[in-house]
């Protein structure tokens, strides 16, 4: 039986796999950050991505339900509040995303209804919930480690939108600005938990596999958007936006 990797080796493995597979490399995002998406293409990314945002607090609630440890639950529950808000009100993640939707010219109620979400996007996002439900607690937590790579992407996105899509007001980018510190906190909490509880090489492998599966889900989501809004003539110069 292979001995478990050291913390440094395991974290390096997680980082290597996540960085190489993260969806910031996708051509849809490359077009976005180069300012080459049309208004419709940008709108459809916002509309469809909202469905993913709605699945995040659901998967976090499932993760909470898997743990018998009050300390873990107290740590993890802030993720749900980050998206749904709390009793004190305020603008949490879902609300900030709907504000972004309004900023790109979408109807708030239409976006919130999720009725216009592409079937493939819905399938991918629901697959994430299924992944978390079916795997062990430590694997489910490991699947969230894509947050390691979110801060740099969010920072890049704000700069790109300010430069290339000035018709979207700066105040509408509040979601992107709010995420980097939260993603850093969340990913540090998650990796500490995974390192402590993935005590065998086999479990370390299973955790990396869960992370890879999550990156595939995110990639498939953007693949669906590319196929629907760029491949069939929606791209720059396609004249359909």
- CA neighbours closer than 13 Å in the CB half-sphere of residue 164: 17
CATH superfamily of 13-229: Heme oxygenase-like (1.20.910.10)
How is 207-221 classified by DSSP, letter by letter? HHHHHHHHHHHHHHH
Strand pairing partners for 86? Answer: 89
Token digits of residue 114: 């999720």
Instruction: Note the pLDDT of residue 152.
Output: 82
Q: Considering only 30-34, 209-213, 229-233, which range has the smallest mean pLDDT?
A: 229-233
Mean pLDDT over all residues of the chain?
92
Q: Three-state SS for 160?
A: helix
Q: How many CA atoms lie within 13 A of 80 on its CB side?
A: 16
Note whether 146 and 124 are within 8 A (CB): no
Do the beta carbons of residue 132 and residue 55 sit within 8 Å?
A: no
Local confidence band at 49 (pLDDT 50, 70, 90 cut-offs) = very high
Place of tokens 């819905």: 122
Task: Read off the DSSP letter of residue 117.
Answer: S
As a whole number of angstroms, the distance between CA 30 and CA 28 comes to 5
Phi and psi torsions of 89, nearest 5°: 80, -150
User: Domain residue spans in the chain?
Assistant: 13-229
Q: Compute the half-sphere exposure of residue 240: CA atoms within 13 Å on the CB side of its CA.
A: 10
In the block, tokens 């936006």 appear at 241
- The first and second tokens of residue 122, run together, are 């819905």
Q: What's residue 97's pLDDT?
A: 95
pTM of the entire predicted model: 0.91
Please say if the pLDDT value at position 233 is more than 70. no
pLDDT at 203 over 70: yes
Residue 11: is its pLDDT beyond 70?
yes
Burial 42-62 (b: 16+ CB within 10 A, else e): bbbbbbbbbbbbbbbbbbbbb
Token pair 């009793």 in the structure block, residue: 87
CA-closest candidate to residue 168, choices 53, 82, 30, 46: 46
Q: What is the pLDDT of residue 124?
A: 97
Phi, psi of 161 (to 5 degrees): -65, -40
């Amino acid at each position: 039986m292979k001995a478990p990797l050291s913390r440094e080796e395991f974290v390096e493995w997680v980082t290597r796999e996540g960085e190489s597979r993260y969806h910031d490399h996708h051509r849809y995002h490359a077009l976005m950050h180069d300012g080459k998406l049309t208004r419709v293409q940008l709108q459809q990314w916002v509309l469809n991505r909202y469905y993913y945002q709605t699945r995040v607090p659901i998967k976090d609630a499932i993760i909470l339900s898997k743990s018998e440890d009050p300390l873990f639950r107290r740590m993890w529950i802030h993720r749900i509040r980050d998206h749904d808000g709390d009793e004190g009100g305020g603008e949490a993640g879902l609300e900030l995303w709907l504000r972004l939707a309004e900023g790109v010219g979408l109807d708030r109620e239409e976006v919130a209804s999720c009725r216009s979400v592409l079937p493939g996007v819905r399938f991918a996002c629901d697959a994430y919930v299924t992944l978390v439900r079916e795997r062990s607690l430590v694997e489910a937590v490991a699947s969230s480690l894509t947050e390691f790579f979110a801060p740099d992407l969010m920072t890049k996105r704000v700069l790109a939108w300010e430069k290339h899509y000035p018709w979207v007001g700066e105040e509408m980018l509040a979601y992107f600005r709010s995420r980097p510190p939260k993603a850093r906190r969340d990913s540090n909490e998650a990796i500490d938990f995974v390192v402590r509880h993935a005590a065998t090489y086999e479990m370390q492998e299973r955790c990396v596999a869960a992370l890879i599966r999550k990156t595939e889900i995110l990639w498939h989501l953007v693949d669906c958007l590319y196929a629907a809004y760029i491949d069939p003539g929606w791209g720059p110069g396609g004249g359909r936006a």
